Amino acid sequence: MSIPTYDPGAAASAEASESAAAASASASAAASAEAAGVVTAESLSTERHVITSIPEDLDEQQTEVLKAFVHYDEVTWNIWFTRTGIENAQPLMTAESYQVLKESYDSLGDGRTEGTVRISVMEVFAMSPTQAQVLTCSDQSDLVAYDADGKDVSNPKTLQGRYEILVTMDYEGGVWKDSDESTLSEGECAV
């Protein structure tokens, strides 16, 4: 009977294969969770619009509201980041809410906003089959606004702080849309 010789290269290769298989299983588990409708803060985040946390145990309606809110919020933040694409927000907002956004946008002028906004979704309230609210903490402390000439025009009263914001979503035409936003507090919430 012969005893196999220890081959460190083969052992390292087997270990690497196991690691790769584990990483692949983890990635496919995340993809399966997403396909099954499981939503995570990470799956909702983009490079400039980071969702830091979401409530646990949301039901189907609350999950749909959450996804619609995050999509709306990301689209509107991209408008402020690039000063383009205002039309992309229109299908995500009620007519009245879009009008308010458009007026703010038109008064802003050319320029850009740089940095990352971090959003903690604290609660999703389903008040009826056609109305819901999302309570968030929006950390804008990393953001800097520039005018068309590249001059810093950040207003610390409206940017660069942490804001507790309540967003009302209405189910209209088969889509959850932003219908109202109000800032409840400044500097008190945590992301």
Selection from 28, 23, 65 nearest residue 44 by Cα: 65
Band of pLDDT at residue 37, cut at 50, 70 and 90? low
Q: Is the pLDDT of residue 27 over 60?
A: no
Per the CB < 8 A criterion, the answer to whether 61 and 141 are in contact is: no
- The larger pLDDT score, comparing residue 159 to residue 42, is at 42
Once rounded to an integer, what is the mean pLDDT over residues 168-184?
96
pLDDT > 90: percent of the chain: 66
Q: Which of 73, 64, 91, 95 is nearest to 179 (CA)?
A: 95
The pair phi, psi for residue 42, each rounded to 5°, is -65, -40
Q: How confident is the model at residue 188 (pLDDT cuts 50, 70, 90)?
A: confident
* 19 pLDDT higher than 80: no
Edge to edge, the sheet with strand 175-186 lists 49-53, 117-128, 131-139, 162-172, 175-186
Tell me the per-residue pLDDT of 85-109, one tens digit each, with 9 for 90 and over. 999 999 999 999 999 999 999 988 8
H or E stretch at 129: none
pLDDT at 70 (0 to 100): 97
- The pLDDT tens digits for 38-88 are 789 999 999 999 999 999 999 999 999 999 999 999 999 999 999 999 999
CA 157 to centroid of chain Cα atoms: 23
Mean residue pLDDT across the chain:
84
Which of 108, 105, 97, 120 lies closest to 50, judged by CA?
A: 120
* Rounded Cα–Cα distance for residues 57 and 7 (Å): 49
DSSP for 148-184, written as a single string: TTS-B---TTTSSSEEEEEEEEEEETTEEEEEEEEEE
Judged against a pLDDT cut of 90, whether residue 8 lies above it is answered with no
pLDDT at position 119 is 96
Rounded Cα–Cα distance for residues 94 and 92 (Å): 7
Question: pLDDT category, 6, cuts 50, 70, 90?
Answer: very low
Q: How confident is the model at residue 166 (pLDDT cuts 50, 70, 90)?
A: very high
